[in-house]
Amino acid sequence: MAKEKETKRPMPAVSVWAPAVALGWLVPGAGHLLLKKTGRGVLLLLAVTGMFLSGLMMRGAMFQPQTGDLLTTLINTGGFVGDLGSGLLYLLSVWLGYNQPDMAGHVHDYGTKFLVTAGLLNVLAMVDAFEIAAGRKS
């Protein structure tokens, strides 16, 4: 079997995909709602919000970028990017003063993981919204 040549599609204009991606970051699932993908948008809204709220109820810690050795920098910066990926959920929780110290215990540790995973799931949703808006996916 011979490989077929893949034609590379040109990058669409920023004005085509940026509103869906930005709105999808700010409010999980809203980019899909803007693109008329209602079922997917509602599912993402419920999944990301539910995961984030579960992390808060388990008193998970929010990451802050820190410097130090390479591992500390990677873990804290990566965790911060994951937290920030939740958009308005993260911004509101920080603005309202949510701050839990990093404590020992499995419940708090799972809560921290839930907070980061909610943001990473929202980042994947933003990629999906981009691909739909760019016409690469239906």
Indicate whether 5 pLDDT > 90: no
At 10, the pLDDT band (50, 70, 90 cuts) reads confident
Q: Is residue 45 part of a domain?
A: yes
Q: Is residue 3 part of a domain?
A: no
pLDDT digit string, tens, across residues 75-122:
999 999 999 999 999 999 999 998 887 778 899 999 999 999 999 999
Q: Is residue 100 part of a domain?
A: yes
Q: Is residue 29 part of a domain?
A: yes
pLDDT digit string, tens, across residues 37-71:
999 999 999 999 999 999 999 999 999 888 889 99
pLDDT digit string, tens, across residues 17-32:
999 999 999 999 999 9
Whole-number pLDDT of residue 12: 85
Q: Is residue 58 part of a domain?
A: yes
Query: DSSP letters of 43-111?
Result: HHHHHHHHHHHHHHHTTPPPP----SSHHHHHHHHHHHHHHHTTTHHHHHHHHTT------SSHHHHHH
Q: What pTM value is reported for the model?
A: 0.87
Whole-number pLDDT of residue 103: 79
Q: Is residue 7 part of a domain?
A: no
Whole-number pLDDT of residue 6: 60
Q: Is residue 28 part of a domain?
A: yes
Q: Is residue 9 part of a domain?
A: no
Domain with 42, as residue range(s), is 15-133
Q: Total domain count for the chain? A: 1
| 41 neighbors 26 (Cβ within 8 angstroms) | no
